[in-house]
Amino acid sequence: MPFEPRLDIIGAALADPSRARIVCELMDGRSHTGKELASVAGVAPNTASDHLSRLLDAGMICAQRSGRFVYYRIASDEVGEVLERMSWLSPTDHLYRGSKRRQAPELLARSCYNHIAGRLGVLIAESLISAGCIRETDSGVRLTQVGCEKLVEIELVSAEAAPPAAKCCLDWSERRRHLSGPLGTAILDNALARKWLSRPRTGRALHIEEKGFAAFERHFGIAKSALLAPGDPA
């Protein structure tokens, strides 16, 4: 056996469109039952079970039983990060065919495993970088003292807590960077807890509430008009 990574196993696990849809659904960072994932993939429950077994064998997802249900989720933060990077390699032309595609709520804001992606995600990152809260380095990005003070000011972290590490990655639909890592997680968790954002039972779209539009403008200087592109519903 040649000394090389078994990329063929990963590739085969993702090669089926139904399995790809299941993985994309799990990229919302939550746990889902096999029945829920079967509905998302548009397949029968027993077929979904076979797909889930394939993804489990490839180490891409994990399963946990709770009562009479088995819940599936992405196996780890590292797997989520790799899948996110792989998404950036995929084409996006299908997203912009026709007005309905341009208005897809996932383009405005969505969960990408454990942080905010889409137009909102990249605008938050750009706001923090331009304000000097995040500084770009040869090895990536880091939170500055100004950034730490801002996080405390908007109550993302307490003054006594260690500031969360900052990371950036390329956004699949926007082709620009959004925040990930512990800082990205803190912003998403905080936005959901304060009801700036809400999320449906299924899917990765994040709905920006009216108080959220106000909060993102107040704390990050992101105007509602900058978020809502022409043709988007107000």
User: pLDDT 10s digit of each residue in the chain, 234 long?
Assistant: 577 888 888 999 999 999 999 999 999 889 999 999 999 999 999 999 999 999 999 999 999 999 899 999 999 988 988 888 888 777 666 666 655 555 678 889 999 888 999 999 999 999 999 999 999 887 778 899 999 999 899 988 777 888 888 888 888 888 899 999 899 999 999 999 999 999 988 888 999 999 999 999 999 999 999 988 644 544
Domains of the chain (ranges plus CATH)?
Answer: 7-75 (1.10.10.10), 97-227 (no CATH)
Q: Are 60 and 54 in contact (CB under 8 A)?
A: no
Dihedral (Cα; 35, 39, 45, 50), 10-degree rounding: -100
Nearest to 226 by CA among 194, 200, 217, 10: 217
